[in-house]
Amino acid sequence: MAQISTVEYETTIFTLPPDNIGPNKATLLHARTKNNNSNFYKAILYIHGFIDYYFHDHVCMRFLEKGYDFYALDLRKCGRSIISPEHDQYKHYCNDLREYDEEITLAIEHITKEAKTQNRKILLFGHSTGGLIATLYASSGSRNADIDAVILNSPYLSIVESTAIESALLTVLRKLKISQDVDAGWYGRSVHVSDRGEWNFDLNKIPIDTVRLHGSFFSAVHRIHQDLIKGRIKMKCPVLLMCSNRSMHAEKQWRDEYGEADIVVNVKAMRCAATMISSQVTIYEIENAKHDIFLSKQSVREKAFDLMFRWLRHLEEDW
């Protein structure tokens, strides 16, 4: 199992307006750096993926070492922001991806207050669905002018890897806006320490056997994908996109190569979509990386860290 350093976090709860399911909240974690020798208050705001939550202490530690305060947001109906057992049945349920603008805006306002009078640099860091949400916010969110750069870790900018039957099921769920429990597939199992991975995350927050898919969520994603294809989503800030060098659809029988590829999102389509979201996109393909680059085996994630912080050093030279 990967050794994860203990990090001290301050927790802020945002109470959000209720929706058709019930009350909502979002949870912001904050770890403070002791190494910021620059003229700027530098902050990372991490946004997790689909039916996911923040548990990436090892990523946080790297940013703290580089002088960044690290913030992580558990979105409404996810992770630490699940309010009740009933709520638990609606992980990542939404009707519109712009719903998440509210907690992201509150997080940015919180970061701005923490910066006090210092000049500040705020970077969004989004993984998978969080990458799509970060892209959307940096394009049109109410505080998008405060975003100085975006880091995307295998963002959900394009289609998922699926069979014809799986694709048909998603279409039915999306059009009828109904929910369905399905097998979670190999990805979660390839990451968790109880099966073929090295990460000991909470299985109540990220189930790895069965997940409930909500058609309303996929309908919301589909609309944003259509907007992206039509060129309606554009970011003005520098963007780093990191992804695996290959993707594949996982069959029911485990194969070792599933642990060295993106078995969730089609990376070729993702890279193509990335060229449409900004004129300042840098794309790094990481050989043998998983869907979450930073949950790949150590040699792979170390290469990803090196490339990411090299990009950040060049970015900081222009500040």
Question: Distance between CA 92 and CA 212 in Å, rounded?
Answer: 10
Question: Distance between CA 31 and CA 59 in Å, rounded?
Answer: 12
Question: Distance between CA 312 and CA 63 in Å, rounded?
Answer: 11
Is a pLDDT exceeding 70 seen at residue 5?
no
Q: What is the dihedral of CA 242, 308, 234, 75, to 10 degrees?
A: 80
H or E element at residue 224: helix 215-229
pLDDT band at 285; cut points 50, 70, 90: very high
Token pair, residue 51, equals 């039916």
Token pair, residue 77, equals 């109906």
Is a pLDDT exceeding 70 seen at residue 45?
yes
More confident residue, 283 or 2: 283
SS3 label, residue 188: helix
Tell which residue, 98, 126, 119, has the closest CA to residue 274.
126
- The residue with tokens 């640099």 is 121
pLDDT band at 128; cut points 50, 70, 90: very high
Question: Distance between CA 295 and CA 306 in Å, rounded?
Answer: 15
Is a pLDDT exceeding 90 seen at residue 262?
yes
Task: Give the model's pLDDT for residue 2.
Answer: 55
Written out in words, the top-level CATH class of the domain with range 10-317 is: alpha beta
What backbone phi and psi angles, to 5 degrees, belong to 43?
-135, 140
pLDDT band at 161; cut points 50, 70, 90: low
Strand ranges in the chain using DSSP code E only, listed in sequence order? 10-16, 24-31, 40-47, 68-74, 119-127, 147-153, 179-183, 210-214, 239-244, 281-286
Token pair, residue 305, equals 């860290």
Is a pLDDT exceeding 60 seen at residue 203?
yes
Tell me what percent of the residues of the chain surpass a pLDDT of 90. 87
Is a pLDDT exceeding 90 seen at residue 160?
no
